[in-house]
Structure formats: structure tokens, C-alpha cells
Structure 1
Amino acid sequence: MLAETVCSALAAAGLGIAAVTAFRRRYLTATRIAAYALVPAGLVLTGVVEWAAGIVFQPAVWVGFGLLGLSWLLLAATRAVERRGAGKARKAAEASGPQAVAPAAAAPQVGRGSRPPAAPGRAAAPEEDFSDIEAILKKHGI
């Protein structure tokens, strides 16, 4: 009963402030204040305030909230301990040396590209082939 009275008083006060604001010709702000002021009245009329007041003043509900908090703390503590243990294992792995990501994968052939190897009797072609660039430059008269 007390919670409903407080919410109704808040709604009436908010509507009064909205009326004063509208009198000052700040209609948009007055409409926003009126909207916020009607929320407590709506909560009283739907019964949400009575339900919430019934929950707040029951000791069994507070014991339930305490148990939920305790379970959250236990889960957070086990996660922190697990991370600390994983950190030690990671440091030990780093100390043992670098590990290959895919040890079965073949090492890449550096510098070979897609060209076939040069014949044994002939000299190797230069590494860079600028013939296409030269053709473009000649085409533009450069």
C-alpha cells in the first residue's frame, strides 16, 4: 500500500513539473517529462509494484539472491584459478621453444616460383621480367 502511494505521488509531482514546463513554452521537454511521470502510475495500475514489494519484503527471496551471488562468486573464482593455471602452462610451453603450427606441412620453396628450372647448359634468365612494362611504356610513347 505504501509503495503504491509513493508511486502515485511521484506521478502527480512529475505531471505538475510537466505542466510548469509547458507553461514556459518548452513543449517538447514537457511532453518528455509527462511520459516519464506516467511510468510509476502505469506500474501501480498493472500490479507490478505490488508484486515487487511482495518480493522485496520476503526473507526467502533475499536468501535466494544470496545463493545466486555465492554461485556467481564460486564460478568466477574457479575461472580465475583455471586461467592462472593455463597461464603457467603457456609460460612453460614458451620456455621449451617455438612449436610448429603444422609440423606435417611442407616448407615453401623460396625463390622458385612457377617457372621451370633452367636447362643445365643455358644461363638462367634474369629474376625480373620487365617486358610487359616496357611494352606499356612504348605504347604511351615514354
Structure 2
Amino acid sequence: MDQGAYLALAAALTVLGAIWTWVAFRRRGLGAGVKALGWTLLAPAAYLTGLLRAGGRIVDAIADWAARLVFSPTVWVGFGIAALAIVLIFLARVLPTKERPRRAARKAAGAAPAGAAGPASVAAPRTAKGPVIDDDDDDMADVNDILKKYGIS
């Protein structure tokens, strides 16, 4: 649309708003009339600041996107691929996974004699130096190893 079309749109919206303002003022009083006048003045303000033209560009862009969405086979292939990806992600949650043995279990299995089965982890006694860190958790075992390396724990 050209500048004259936006001016005509702003003028039409302002005239309709002025009629609405007059009706609101006559039927519901001063408060409703002032509120309607505020809404009415938004149309010329949008025209003068350029927001009416920007809004027109946004509406045009959305309309072009929607037309391309409906009539383009490549867009539908993209939606199909996205749907397949989502189905695979949720399907992966249901399928069984191969779990790796925990670090503490691997250490205990390596340290124990061939025929003896020992506990997966043994908690260290509580000392005055700090809290006991359980070796069951891989992350905490790494932290515990670092602390032991520097003589903190």
C-alpha cells in the first residue's frame, strides 16, 4: 500500500472511533467517552509515527508466509520431518537403553578377588575434616578423587 492508502485507513478508523466516542459518551457517561476517545486517537498516532505502515508490512509478511505454508510441498515435507523427529525423541524414552556400570561398581569389581562379590561401595567413616562423600554417584566420586589427590579429604 502507498502512503495515501495508509492515510485513508487512518482517517476511516478515526471517523469510526469518533462515532464510537460520541455514542459511548451519550450512553454510558464521561468515563466511557474519554476511554473511547483514547482508543480513537491511536489510529492517527499510528499513522503519524509510521506504525500503521509497519503493521501493514507485518500483516503482508504473515499472509505471504501462510500462503507459502499452505501451497508449498517443501514446507509440508519440513513439517513431516519435524513430526518424525518428535516421534523418535519420545519413542527413545520408551525403548530400553544399555546402562553402563557405575564407576564405584567397576572399581569394586576390579579390586575384589575373582570369586568374591563385594559391596558396590563402602562409605568412608565420618571424620572431623569434612562430610562423607558417597562413591555411588559418578560425579561425587570424581570430586572425592580430586579432594584426596590434594590431601583435603
Alignment TM class, shorter chain as reference: 0.3 to 0.5
Give the alignment's TM-score, normalised by structure 1.
Answer: 0.46
Q: Which has the higher relative contact order, 1 or 2, with Cα contacts under 8 A spaced 6 or more apart?
A: 1
- Which is greater in Rg? 1
